[in-house]
Amino acid sequence: MMNMTPTYKLNSDEFGALYVKREDMIPYSFGGNKARKAFHFFQDIDKGDYDYVVTYGSSHSNHCRVVANMAAARGKKCIIIGPAEVSDSTYNSEMMKLFGAEIITVPVDQVSRTIDDKLDELRKLGHNPYFILGGGHGNIGTRAYIACYQEIKEFEKANNIFFDYIFFASGTGTTQAGLVCGQLLEGDDRKIIGISIARKNPRGRDVVLDSIREYLGQKEFESAGISEADIQDKTIFLDDYTGDGYGTDSIEIQDVIKKSLVMYGMPLDSTYTGKAFLGMEKYIRQNNIADKNILFIHTGGTPLFFDDLNKFGGKG
Ligand SMILES: *Cc1c(COP(=O)(O)O)cnc(C)c1O
């Protein structure tokens, strides 16, 4: 599919061995975890004779941008169903339009029914739509992050290092489910810590657990002998750093975004990676683990960085 995403040590005064894996540099449509997942979904799509790709997400959605791009490149129609509550213009939504996606916005409580109706309508008209859950959720998305986990293993082997901790922004939990499945299948012992960007526990963690169980419940993994206790043990979903919920910014997050850009030349956004990076820093300090080998997975969202940029107002 593609080469390993860049992984390297950050030049930090505070953290001795803090590495980043730059999933935002996946070379397709501004990258990110949604690009990695979408590559796997489109492998599936390319096997069938689908003429429509239908998915859902808000006007801020990185997933919808990447899916709209991949559909357009194949000459397939793309329909995006989104909540009217979050339908303001963003760089992602402008790109969805550029890719010619049909965007249908309805009140959030009608999203699910609208999807069903649209799929029915297309099929009645003789079309063959492929439906992707929001955020690229589901076993195919999970598999994409098992592949990412394997890249991390390769990096460790080639560089003679072992990451004691892996941190990243966790939303729908698919990225986390894939990483944890990867770990369980390898039998490694380390802490994989999803920093929730919105959901609270127990629901947030339960969704990750469900994705892991669904994936490992497939026939091919019967012999792997992974127990429910193993799954529980490895699934760490922290909801301490969600702030005021999805997409809510704060001075602290803006400071981290600014620092990361100035010190590391690395863009973060306030919804996902900035919030998670801040949560990770706090966790490292609170748990005195600054001397450990730590990996932060940069999950993307570059267009969101530009949506935020005007907040910094000149010298700031
Ligand atoms: C969607 C997204 C996440 C969360 O990924 P999930 O697999 O839904 O948990 C994290 N970071 C960015 C930039 C995203 O777009």
Half-sphere exposure of 9 (CA within 13 A, CB side): 14
CATH number of 7-31+146-312: 3.40.50.1100
Task: Give the chain's mean pLDDT.
Answer: 96
Ligand 1 centroid to 41 CA: how many Å?
Answer: 16
237 CB under 6 A from ligand 1?
Answer: no
Which ligand 1 atom is at minimum distance from the Cα of 300?
13
Q: Where are the beta strands (DSSP E) in the chain?
A: 7-9, 18-22, 52-56, 77-83, 102-106, 129-132, 165-170, 191-196, 236-238, 294-298
Q: Where are the domains of the chain?
A: 7-31+146-312, 34-136
Calculate how far, in angstroms, residue 192's C-alpha sits from the geometric centre of ligand 1. 15
**Is residue 174 lining ligand 1, measured as CB closer than 6 Å?**
yes
pLDDT for 246 equals 85
Residue 2 is predicted with a pLDDT of: 65
pLDDT value of residue 1 = 54
- Overall average pLDDT of the 282-311 stretch: 96
pLDDT tier at 244 (50, 70, 90 boundaries)? Answer: confident
Whole-angstrom Cα distance, residue 24 to residue 275? Answer: 16
pLDDT score of 120 more than 60: yes
Q: Ligand 1: which residue has its CA nearest to atom 4? A: 171
pLDDT in tens, 261-276: 999 999 999 999 999 9
Tokens (6 digits) for 201: 């526990």
Question: What are 243's two structure tokens?
Answer: 């702030």
Pocket perturbation via mutation, ligand 1, pick of 26, 36, 172 by most ligand atoms within 8 A of CB: 172
In this model, does residue 315 exceed pLDDT 60? no
Q: How many other CB atoms are there within 10 angstroms of residue 142's CB atom?
A: 27
| Out of 50-59, 182-191, 238-247, least confident range | 238-247
Are the folds of 7-31+146-312 and 34-136 the same?
A: yes
34-136: which CATH architecture?
3-Layer(aba) Sandwich (3.40)
- Indicate the pTM of the whole model: 0.97
pLDDT confidence band for 3 (50 / 70 / 90): confident
Is the beta carbon of 33 within 6 A of some atom in ligand 1?
yes
Residue 293 has pLDDT above 60, yes or no: yes
pLDDT digits (tens, 9 = 90+) for 18-29: 999 999 999 999
What mean pLDDT is predicted for residues 281-291?
97
- pLDDT tens by residue, 161-208: 999 999 999 999 999 999 999 999 999 999 999 999 999 999 999 999
